[in-house]
Structure 1
Amino acid sequence: MKKYIEELREKIKKYSDYYYTNSESLISDVEFDRLLVELKELEEKYPEYKSVESPTEVVGATNLRDTKFQKVTHKKPMLSLSNSYNEGDISDFIERVKKNLAEEKGIEYALELKLDGLSLSIQYENGRLVRAVTRGDGAIGEDVTENILEIESIPKVLKESVSLEIRGEVVLPISKFEELNKRRLEAGEEVFANPRNAASGTLRQLDSKIIKERGLDAYFYFLVDAQNYGVKTHSESIDYLAKLGIKTTGVCEVLKDSSELIKRIEYWGEKRESLDYETDGMVIKVNEIELWEKLGNTTKSPRWAIAFKFPAKQVTTKILGVTWQVGRTGKITPVAELEEVELSGSRVKRASLHNYQEIERKDIRVGDSVFIEKAAEIIPQVVKSVRELRDGSEMIISEPTTCPICNTPVERESGQVDIKCPNLTCPGKIEGELIYFVSRDAMNIAGFGSKIVENMLKLGFIQNIVDIYELKNHREDLEKLEKMGKKSVDNLLNAIENSKTREYSKVLCALGIPFIGKTSAKLLAQASGNIDRLMEMSVEDLTQIEGVGDKMAQAVYDFFRDEEKIRLIAGLKSHGICFEQEVVEELPQEERVFTGKTFLFTGTLKNFTRNEIKEEIEKLGGKNLSAVSKNLDYLIVGEKAGSKLKKAQELGTVKIISEEEFMEICGKK
């Protein structure tokens, strides 16, 4: 056991030192934390093998010998926080605090966002910034003052002439991170795995101009020796920092018990997706500063604070193999088969590799340790491989020359990266068409997931989209299937029946016409009124529809010249599927008051649903955006407006209007 504990310590030190030296992680935070917890538990079980040099006793970097910057000793150690992962851990922390402060009544707790960046300490003398030091190993850090001066959000002179030390986090905003990786891709450079690594790598650049170019930001959450400045609570100290012109997240909520804390943590767990910086959790601190001394610290962490970690957005695992799958258009895409791992609250065994060019660019091999994350919080994807952990057993991935489903030789269109199966009757394409047809954005047949599609094909119950509406004839056979039963079958058949009233634009989308998604399907439906009229349109007619380009027009025209597609449409018509809608006449140009203007709304609206206000904007010639940016003209603000309002105010170029003002402009008041 002693040997295993020593090997575990060395492994953790290796990962820690690599990150602090290279600003790149060899493993994900969640995996690193798991190893650290395992080591701590073993050291508690076998105290005879404890060591003062163990990673469980040391904060941050364990090796600063290779630093390019001057080393500085912190006046007060920069401790790290103990981590918690569930409600029970929070309740245990509260109980420990109460037990150790048994004589205290009405203990309050400050709840803050835990930023995922690079920890920093800054000293001001007589209101002027004199030194900035990284956390380092908690006792000694790196002097990065020259680089910090390039971060515009850090004040060089405070609003009052005071001497103090503050601590915070240097981050790279998500929007800047995406721009940076895009530029690196275009330049053929390796991308950063996440904003935290990018922030760390940027701050440690010897050329300080790079810091300004990349747009680093910083937020501060701690005032050293706060009681010396006339404040009694942590929340008051945060207000004091803001008064001095120091940037904070603006989130410091004072709460009284674990149930209140858990409720707000759940709120911020959802809300964090709208923020422009990465947060990996929340920090809970006893609010009254005087109590901190009574609670004290361990060698590594304070007993008056704890960090709650959100489910990981990015984890590391191993690639066991690659499966090439065929989609509804015949496109063949690689999927990584993984060692199962938990990601964003769910178990993941597969992740997208996008295409073969991505595999080559990222140099991904079977057997590699890789970072994975959920794209748009939905689809797991492989971010990068960790080449430093290779042992020589990894295998290079080859691009297939034939379809993995039907063995037809693959084709690649000129100038395209994707390979395709040209076989019109390829079972893989048919399965993809069926899965797309029943999906939420298409016919929205609840309960008809990919697994059921796969089973129905295997059993021969369906061979095309029309057969879905014949499944009622197989009721008895369906009820005999594993995990189905009478109630499940009733629900499925009812959902199929209900889909017959799906609006025309959704049915068009469900047909899977190349290049036609839900937005363009809506344009086609509005312009044609019914599918018979749409089928008669020439390419020239189609290009006259606003928003329909040459490529889309040709795809629509060709689709409706395919005899098999015409037969399927006739079959759907025979089952009563809706293929028409009332043609909405466009308003005269002089009444389209929002022409050329862009809109976004935030908060709860009283007089519109989300879809209704979007339709009203489009009807009047405007365009709906999905996020606040310099391209946004109007932000409509409802009740309980969120971070979009704050970001729009910071930009200063967005016109912010109420729902009532919007209605006046529309002539609805």
Structure 2
Amino acid sequence: MLKLFDNNQAENRIKDLREKIERYNYFYYTKNESLVSDVEFDKILKELEKLEEENPHLKKENSPSKNVGAINLKESKFKKVIHKKPMLSLSNSYNIEDVIAFGERVNKNLENRYSNLEYILELKLDGASISIQYENGVLVKGVTRGDGIEGEDVTDNILAIESIPNYLKEKVDLEVRGEIVLPISQFKKLNESRLENGEDIFANPRNAASGTLRQLDANIVKERGLDAYFYFLVDAEKYDMKTHKESLEYLEKLGLKTTGIAEEITCMDVMKNRIDYWEKEKEKLDYETDGLVLKLNDISLWEEVGYTTKSPRWAIAYKFPAKQVTTLLKDITWQVGRTGKVTPVAELEEVELSGSKVKRASLHNIDEIIRKDIRIGDRVFIEKAAEIIPQVVSSVKDLRTGEEKEVIAPKDCPICNHKLEKEEGLVDLKCVNEDCPAIIQGTIEYFVSRDGMNISGFGSKIVEKMLALNYIKNISDIYKLHEHKEELITLDKMGEKSVEKLLLSIEKSKSRPYGKTLYALGIPFVGKFLGNLLSKKSENINNLEKMTKEELLSIDGVGEKVAESVYSFFRNEKSLNIVNKLKKIGINFSIENKKEEESERKVNENLFGKTFLFTGKLLKFKREEIKDLIESLGGVNSSSVNKKLNYLIVGEDAGSKLKKAQELGTVNILTEDEFIQMIK
């Protein structure tokens, strides 16, 4: 065995490792504090074990390598399909107390009539949810979860997954729901192949499964070897199923694959043991699982226990703790966004987190840095917020050497050196220089985005390149890029076809709806909804430019900040200059054929002319989707609870709006399900 150290070096290194491990153990078991992540702890422990193996004369019986721990211490390309029954989500819990409380709520809903309710414990797979319909035993449709109400028809791709039977063993009509996953073994092979071919690798099996399921070529789906596990039979009682476990066994009998894990639980006290067991055991599985699901077994009790607007009350998901790792915070850089907001970003020593390499993480703002007492040179814990965005959670103060540096907020813009400002009552620093290159780049990226002018092929790297070459200086210059066609073709990673597609997309964007162009202009506080609202109220941009603050405020849905922002935007010489250039270019800034457009709307008599507002967390709709739906059916969106409001749609954790509506007594209050019935 090759030794990396001579005897003296090995002895010193072993001593250092033992001291570190003993210290980490002390804090972990005695003070309930983690100085390093589990990953890092395991890494140094293995290094110690290896060194002791290579240097047996340096072994000690009381080495922490032998006594681990402290002993005695504690956009879509697919057809949309409405689900026959909504694909509800499960309420999540992150600790055993929540699970125990769930059991108590179920008993309460059942008036404590049962002494030993039985639950089924299953694995919560981390993949892409799917709903599959069979008619007379033949697979006829596969639909993604989508927003729970509407999904994408991916039937061709479902047929390409070998583990999903095209024909059931019985000629029955049914709908079954499950999870599409990419086995970990297949994931590794896929990434190895992509590396060899010079392609970007997938961050994790879940992303790979979801991305593969939405491929337009079913052959790709077949090649990648997706798998599927089913966990729910829709309307199981129709098939004389008495329990959830029976329904799972029935699915297996029909030839549908389940995980085979359906543990019967009658006492919530055993849940802690099962959680501990599966947190370890899940690592042996060939698919990703991010938690456990507990369901009331007796199907006949489900309706009595009931549902929230978001999820069934007879089931709960326990999610395993988010993975955290520790790493070195090497430096902090300050990024400038489209609005001039200056944000601190942690520059980290590269580390693997939840299946991806992380070198940067969010620090939010200077106040947050001060609150958490984070310094340059600290060892820090990082995690992915909602498993997506890496963020710095905390610093490990007990590992400080004294060489760490306090973070000082910049006084000048890191891009243009203009003096930064901080609005009263707000925490964010801002660059107010309209000519700041970072603001210009952000403005252009926002303008060309899908929700704005939808210019495909115009990503951030292309924007950066166009600015560097001085081909564009503002958003109006985008429409002059055809003058540089020959030069663009010669650029790296462009080519004739790419350039032609880009220029075609630019030309096509001129006819974007007026509301979209208003959004794309990036007027502060004017998002998709307000862009659409202002376009309808003004009919064309010339009318909007002339509106006074009072006229803007008279529009239901426009508040003080929005009115001030829109009014100021059209009185800013630079903004007006850009808008006038866009007018000359031929950008659509009006609603044409308004009467014809309104006559073609699918007006719903229950909604026509009525005002709507929603509050709380909506499960079945995204905020912009429900607003668009209301308007498309003849309704009007409101921004506040008042006597003119007809309906308030209430989601989970509704707050002051619900209370005010109840106090008024004139507002009809609807759940999402009631709203869905209303529009049907």
Q: TM-score, length-normalised on structure 1? A: 0.56
| Distance across 1 between alignment mates of 2:514 and 2:544 | 12
CA shift for structure 1 position 368: 1.2
Kindly indicate whether the alpha-carbon contact (under 8 Å) linking 1:471 and 1:493 is maintained by their aligned counterparts in 2. yes
Amino acid at match of 1:383: V
Equivalent residue letter for 1:18: F
Q: CA deviation at 1:628?
A: 3.4
Distance 1:483 1:536 in 2: 45
**One-letter amino acid of the counterpart of residue 526, structure 2:** I
Q: Deviations over 1:620-647 (max 9, x none)?
A: 765667x63356999xxxxxxxxxxxxx
Identity of aligned residues (%): 45
CA deviation after TM superposition for structure 1 residue 465, in Å: 0.7
Q: Please, which of 337, 345, 359 is the counterpart of residue 327 of structure 1?
A: 337
Q: 2:588 aligns with which of 566, 578, 598?
A: 578
Alignment match of 1:628 (pick from 631, 636, 652) = 652
From 3, 11, 24, give the equivalent of 1:15: 24
Q: Is 1:452 the counterpart of 2:462 in the alignment?
A: yes
Alpha-carbon distance in 2 for matches of 1:63, 1:654: 57
**Equivalent residue in structure 2 for 1:316, among 326, 350, 374:** 326
CA contact (8 A) 2:291 2:318 kept: no
User: Would the aligned equivalents of 2:415 and 2:438 in 1 still touch at CA under 8 Å?
Assistant: yes
Deviation of 1:482 (Å)? 2.5
1:180-579 alignment runs, 5 A limit: 238-241=263-266, 262=286, 265=289, 279-280=319-320, 313-579=323-589
Question: Which residue identity does 1:478 align to in structure 2?
Answer: L
The equivalent residue for 1:27 is 36
Task: Give the CA deviation at 1:471.
Answer: 1.6
Question: Would the aligned equivalents of 1:600 and 1:632 in 2 still touch at CA under 8 Å?
Answer: no
Partner AA of 1:62 in structure 2 = A
User: Residue 417 of structure 1 aligns to which amino acid in structure 2?
Assistant: V
Q: How far has the Cα of 1:403 moved from its partner?
A: 2.1
1: CA distance, partners of 2:44 / 2:571: 60
Cα distance in 1 for partners of 2:582, 2:286 equals 50
Query: Following TM superposition, by how much is the alpha carbon of 1:238 offset from its aligned partner in structure 2, in angstroms?
Result: 3.3
Q: CA deviation at 1:347?
A: 2.6
Deviation at 1:532, TM superposition (A): 2.1
Alpha-carbon offset, residue 433 of structure 1: 1.4
> Which runs of 5 or more residues in structure 1 are unaligned?
68-112, 123-147, 167-233, 282-311, 635-652
In the other structure, the counterpart of 2:635 is 619
Structure 1 residue 550: Cα displacement: 0.5
Q: Secondary structure at the match of 1:476?
A: helix
- After superposition, the Cα gap between the structure-2 partners of 1:519 and 1:662, relative to the gap in structure 1 and judged at 3 Å, is closer
How many residues align? The count is 461
Match of 1:62 among 67, 70, 73: 70
Cα drift, residue 337 of structure 1: 1.8
Q: How far 1:407 sits from its partner (Å)?
A: 2.2
How far off is 1:655 after superposition?
5.6
Classify 1:573/1:45 alpha carbon distance in 2 versus 1 (closer, same or farther; 3 Å).
Answer: farther
- Per-residue deviation, 1:503: 3.0
**Corresponding letter in the other structure for 2:652:** V
Shift of 1:44: 7.4
Once the 2 structures are TM-superposed, how far is the Cα of residue 394 of structure 1 from its aligned partner? 0.8
1:382 positional shift = 2.2
Q: Deviations over 1:475-532 (max 9, x none)?
A: 2222222233334333433443343343333322221111222333233233323322
Q: Is the 8 A contact 2:290 2:319 kept in 1?
A: no
Q: Which residue of 1 aligns with 2:666?
A: none
Residue 557 of structure 1 and its aligned partner are, at CA, apart by: 0.4
Q: Which amino acid aligns with 2:266?
A: L
What residue in structure 2 maps to residue 665 of structure 1?
Answer: 678
Give the conservation status (yes or no) of the 8 Å contact 1:238–1:248.
no
Structure 1 residues 53 and 510, CA, compared in 2 at 3 Å: closer, same or farther? farther
Alpha-carbon distance, 1:559 to partner: 0.1
Find the residue that maps to 1:350 and give its secondary structure.
strand
Residues 595-624 of structure 1, C-alpha deviations (whole Å, 9 max, x = no match): 46659776899xxx9887565689376566
CA contact (8 A) 1:159 1:245 kept: no
> What secondary structure does 1:411 align onto?
strand
Written as runs of structure 1 = structure 2, the 5 A alignment for 1:53-132 is: 61-65=69-73
Task: Give the Cα separation in 2 of the matches to 1:450 and 1:506.
Answer: 20
CA pair 512-161 structure 1, distance change in 2 beyond 3 A:
closer
Deviations 1:338-396 (A, max 9, x none): 22223343332222222222222222211111222334544433222221111111112
* 8 Å Cα contact 1:632-1:654 kept in structure 2: no
In the alignment, the residues of structure 2 paired with residue 524 and residue 618 of structure 1 have an alpha-carbon distance, to the nearest angstrom, of 16
CA distance, structure 2, for counterparts of residue 587 and residue 528 of structure 1? 24
Contact 2:383–2:392 (CA under 8 A) maintained in structure 1: yes
One-letter amino acid of the structure 2 residue matched with residue 238 of structure 1: E
> Could you tell me how far apart the structure 2 residues matched to 1:463 and 1:62 are?
63
- CA deviation map 1:130-175 (0-9, x unaligned): xxxxxxxxxxxxxxxxxx99997899x997699xxx9xxxxxxxxx
Q: Distance in 2 between matches of 1:498 and 1:266?
A: 43
Q: Aligned equivalents of 2:423 and 2:398: distance in 1? A: 36
Secondary structure in structure 2 of the residue aligned to 1:328: coil
Distance 2:631 2:92 in 1: 38
Distance in 1 (alpha carbons) for counterparts of 2:615 and 2:634? 10
Q: 1:263 to 1:421 in 2, by over 3 A?
A: closer
Retained in 2: the 8 A contact 1:466–1:571? yes
Question: Aligned partner of 2:400: which letter?
Answer: R
| Cα separation, partners in 2 of 1:461 and 1:629, compared to 1, 3 Å | same
Q: Which amino acid aligns with 2:70?
A: T
Equivalent-residue separation in structure 2 for 1:381 and 1:624 (angstroms): 34
Give unpaired runs (5+ residues) of structure 2.
75-90, 122-258, 294-309, 638-646, 659-668
TM-superposed CA distance for 1:460, in Å, is 0.6
- Are the aligned partners of 2:512 and 2:588 in contact in 1 as well (CA < 8 Å)? yes
Distance 2:604 2:92 in 1: 49
Distance in 2 (alpha carbons) for counterparts of 1:16 and 1:158: 47
Q: Which amino acid aligns with 1:665?
A: M
Cα distance 1:50–1:373, how it changes in 2: closer, same or farther (>3 A)? same
Amino acid at match of 2:521: L
Q: CA deviation at 1:553?
A: 0.6
- Provide the secondary structure at the position in 1 that maps to 2:392: strand
Give yes or no for contact 2:346–2:360 (8 Å, CA) kept in 1.
yes
**Shift in Å at residue 462 of structure 1?**
0.8
Structure 1: distance between partners of 2:27 and 2:96: 15
Shift of 1:267: 11
